[in-house]
Structure 1
Amino acid sequence: VTFFPAMLTLPAGGSATFFCNISMENDSGSEYSLNVYKEINHGQTQKIAEISRSKRQTKTKKYVLTNHAPAFKIEILNLNQNDSGSYYCGLITFFEPDKVMESNRSHLVVTAAPEKTNATDEPELEEDNSPDHIKAVFLGILLLAGAVVLLIFGYLTITYRRGDVQKPRSENVPAEEKPPVVSVSTVDYGVLEFQRDQCTQVPSETRPVDQTEYATIVFPEERPVTPER
């Protein structure tokens, strides 16, 4: 006969489930009774539940035994810290009254129940804080966007001023306008002077007023040269 699981740790208010398994040799067709025990004080035991082979289930406010031969299911309901202790099962056959087979011991530890939180108040608090939270997030986004715009504007201003300072002076000062140059073409006309006849000099008293004489030079016509035959 085996009793398992060997150890259970559960919070108060729940339920614990153990199983008691008997061998097929003991389930040979003879009548038997299965008892469940709890150790209370240093080896003293207390029978807490009982079920026979022919019965399908035994149920009380605290314990439920279900027959799944060769296994039996034991449930302990509404756990409290007083339920902590050692449990085991014992198989008693009717045709052999002196033969009682006990299983191994399993231990149950019941811890304090977890504190219940007021679940209905938390959503209300979240709903009350949600508009403020949204406003805070929106204000933070606006401040961040404004800071980015100011940084970009400052960077562009500094870059523009540095560009003006680094330009050479000749580029900043407009070049003086020079007056347009007008080309004037000049023609030198020569005057043909002819020598006067030195032999016929006229006295200064009777010398007539100098007159300018013009001459026409005629060049002979060029005739084409024909080759000799």
Structure 2
Amino acid sequence: MPDREEKHSILASRHADLKEQGLYAALKDLKSLSSSTLPLENIAAQITLSTRFTLKVPCTALWLMDDLHKFISLVSFSCVDSTDTDPKKYNISLEDETSPVSECLRDGKPSLHKKQILSEMDPRATSLNKDYVIAVLPLQTLFGTIGVFEILTNSNDAVSHAELESLELLTAQIALLLSNHLNSDHNARQSALQKQLYEISAKINQAKDYESVLKITVEELCTALNLPAASMHVNMAVIGASPSENKEHNT
């Protein structure tokens, strides 16, 4: 049986310092991240590190769903007695019926899962190789569920259903923080892309012939959109030229 100091501290007891551990401390740490301009990966890493420390659990992890809603990726995690925090681009299918994380995303409800063993492919499995009780909570926003917050506790120190309900408040704050950051990141990318498109338009307007227009359009758009390759074919007859002069450019 672990010592008192080793047990998790989600709902701190009346003997504990509420400001130093449990939900109070976790929420306080999240507030300090609300104005951060760090990249998403750094924000997620700080969330998992601070929540694992304040809740005193073996591991916390953040998962985010991809744009196509087919996979959910491990974005960050923090494990006790391990310095490894690299998610190694690990993801699982949303249809994986053996995964508590996938089930949580499909159902959209918090849940507890007993006697869980991490997959050998999971980058956390090297340091977390026992049976665990896993709590999964959906990260819900006004626009839908964006991911899952996962907490691992030891089998003899499991999260209770009362604690799971209380954790929904923490998860709501995490979802809000990540959603705001994702929106800011999206807006920044949109602004950068808009600027690139204006620059491409200026170059096209300065082109002297159709061949130059094609070359600039294809090559510049390929770079701006980060495409591996692109091609464009123009029917010159549509713009009053001879069909034999049809133009094509590849990159």
Q: What's the TM-score, normalizing by structure 2? A: 0.20
More strand per residue? 1
What is the TM-score of this pair, normalised by structure 1?
0.21
Which of these two proteins has the greater Rg computed from alpha carbons? 1
Higher RCO structure (Cα 8 Å, ≥6 apart): 1
